[in-house]
Structure 1
Amino acid sequence: MFVLCFLVTAVLSKHIDHRNLFTQRVCCKRQSHFVYIGQDISGNPVSVDVGMCRSHCGGASRPSHETVQQDYSKHSSMLEFLRSKKMRTRGPLAPESSEALNQLPSCGMNQVCEPTGMRVDRVLLLEGPREVEVIEECHCEIKLSHCIRVPALRTYYSETPYETVIDVGGCSKAKGSPEGFSCVPTKFDPVLVDTPNKVDLIQTVAACELKESCYRVPYVEYYYETVHHAYGVKEERLKEIDVGRCLGGCTTGNRCLLRSPSDPEICHLWTERQSSSCTPQSYESHSFVNQHGQIRTVLSITSCLCQK
């Protein structure tokens, strides 16, 4: 009887751990992640803490930016630094790495730790202004099995009189998708945002579909068309043509050569990008008479493919 009670208690405690709301909120949280974005107008390097969402409780702590810089300065080159780092991590796992592997995800099996709030910062660099997306908060989000549009809030012109929050939208990371297919945006809606100098146009995702990595999206253009009716009646009207656009990336393979033993999401060394462009594969022509009585031909994209 004692053994049965012990087993039931163990199972219940394990069941509760996966659904502990306090654990989810504490462990799925934002952590600092600095990214170098260029030089400012004075020539000094600029790094921005864009943040990252971590989905594990506890585990090995990541080395700080200053610690990495000091460790790297002891070596004559980046190659020597990476070689020494690989030699130190070769062999049995370190105790803190083993501890990290034993940690359970804070969001459970059917959830993922994702950003719940982001802002867009504008940084003035030597080559001009640049927009950087910064993670503000994280939360546990249910993994979706279907390809749908999901909300994605972005704050523009934060801490200014023009601060605006817009749902720019995104596409769900549909699990169980066929190989080579992804849930990608296929329709966009523009939103106007007031700024001190002008009006900015923000593109938001309106719809998503399961597509191959290189895909076609609608893109409508309008033209003036002249139509001659019976008895010499001439009519001028708008002609709508979906000329299409090719979107998506064609990069294949894993570009990471050396990952962190304590955190597989961190890549220390990348190979050169082997990519090809997503270009039109087939098209069709649309002919009409313009305002000046001339025949105008417009080509529209009907399909796209990856072209090296």
Structure 2
Amino acid sequence: MDVPLPFLLLLSVLHLTLTGVFSKHIDHRNLFTQRLCCKRQSHFVYIGQDISGSPVNVDVGMCKSHCGGASRPSHETRQQEYSRHSSMLEFLRSKKTRPRGPSAPESAGPQAQLPSCGMNQVCEPTGMRVDRLLLLEGPREVEVIQECQCEIKLTQCLRVPALRTYYSDTPYETVLDVGDCSRSKGSPEGFSCVPTKFDSEFVETPNKVELIQTVVTCELKESCYRVPYMEYYYEVVNSDGVKEERLKEINIGRCLGGCTTGNRCLLRNLSDPAVCHLWAEKQPSSCVPEGYETHSFLNQHGEIRTVLSITSCLCQN
């Protein structure tokens, strides 16, 4: 049966109209929209001085989850703003003393308030690059975010994949899964999901073979915790009047974690508090051994050898 052309045109118009109205209500469920909103943004961090004495700022990146809302200034706009000042310190001072302008108007649409990754997901890095920089005080490794993606929020402490690219853009480029521990949201107060067992992988380099530490197992631990660390010694024992040399294994342990807390940001952006312009130096860990055991044995030279092993760790006051 032939359908009149005007009727077909009417159906097409109705389809487009209903599709447009319907998409306004389900756009936040669209997978492409979610992926588009979770993306990498520039985040420059001062690393130090290079061998010429010039400051080194690296774009380590950050994963930002946002849909709608006010747009951020472009890179060119920020560069023009920097160029008006003689130094970065003067620029930061001007940002700190600048009067707060009128707040941005609230977005009329409800979509601007919705998380781009959904209620049970989070915007996180999926690929990292390890850059090696030669600074005045020596070589330093910096991890740079390459890509971001919506990942499911985990409520359990698990070992999760963590891809790292070493010697990028060289004949020795290697991608390894070094592993990481999930940022568990269901952890008890004062506990964190931390690595407790490690392994290693070999990476070929222009000068030598490099050993990269990888995470094998994660567990819920307090911020300062003990992990196994094995050492082997030769022990001489007397068995029925006969001296016998054996291999003695001692788990001497190691203390991992940190006890310092608080915000290291010294200067935040007035219009966007999520942006930090100046960071304080990272405090050294004060997680130290608390309890220990003594292991004494006769070594190959007939001498008594004493080795101490860590049994527990604590935060030093």
Range class of TM-score, shorter chain: 0.7 to 0.9
Residue pair 1:286, 1:297 contacting (<8 A) in 2 also: yes
Deviation at residue 18 of structure 1 after TM alignment: 3.8
Larger radius of gyration: 2
Deviation at 1:170, TM superposition (A): 0.2
Change (3 A) 1:102 1:260: farther
Once the two structures are TM-superposed, the CA of residue 263 in structure 1 deviates from its matched residue by 3.6
Residue 88 (structure 1) aligned to one of 93, 100, 112: 100
Which letter does structure 2 place at the counterpart of 1:251? T
For 1:169 and 1:75, how far apart are their aligned partners in 2?
37
Instruction: Tell me how far 1:223 sits from its aligned partner.
Output: 0.7
Partner of 2:174: 164
Give 2:238's match in structure 1, choosing from 228, 240, 245: 228
Quote how far apart the aligned CAs of 1:135 are: 0.9
| Shift in CA distance, 13/304, structure 1 to aligned 2, threshold 3 Å | farther
1:242 to 251, 272, 282: 251
1:34 aligned residue: 44
Alignment RMSD (CA, Å): 3.0
What is the aligned length?
Answer: 296
Cα distance in 2, alignment partners of residues 197 and 74 from structure 1: 39
Cα deviation, residue 127, structure 1: 2.1
Aligned to 1:289: 298
SS at match of 1:106: coil
C-alpha distance in structure 2 between counterparts of 1:222 and 1:233, whole Å: 22
CA distance in 1, matches of 2:108, 2:237: 76
- The answer to whether the Cα contact below 8 Å between 2:96 and 2:270 also exists between their aligned partners in 1 is no
Distance 1:15 1:280, change over 3 A: farther
TM-score by length of 2: 0.83
- Contact 1:30–1:52 under 8 Å retained in 2: yes
- Aligned-residue sequence identity (percent) comes to 74
Residue 109 of structure 1 and its aligned partner are, at CA, apart by: 1.2
Q: Is the 8 A contact 1:184 1:208 kept in 2?
A: yes
User: Secondary structure, in 3 states, of the residue corresponding to 2:292?
Assistant: strand
The one-letter code matched in structure 1 to 2:131 is: D
Q: 1:245 to 1:28 in 2, by over 3 A?
A: same
| Matched-pair contact (CA < 8 Å) for 2:28–2:111 | no
Alignment of 1:123-162 (within 5 A): 123-162=133-172
SS in 2 for 1:95: coil
Amino acid of the residue matched to residue 242 of structure 1? N
Distance in 1 of aligned mates of 2:200 and 2:303:
33
Unaligned runs of 5+ residues in structure 1 are 1-8
Q: Which residue identity is paired with 1:131?
A: E
Displacement after TM superposition at 1:74 (Å): 9.3
Contact 2:82–2:91, Cα closer than 8 Å, also in 1? no
- Given that 2:67 and 2:112 are in contact with CA atoms closer than 8 Å, whether structure 1 keeps it comes out as no
2:194 is equivalent to residue 194 of structure 1: no
Paired letter, 2:170? T
CA contact (8 A) 1:60 1:96 kept: no
Deviations 1:78-118 (A, max 9, x none): 78435423x315xx522379999944221011111111111
Deviations 1:41-68 (A, max 9, x none): 2222222211111111243304645255
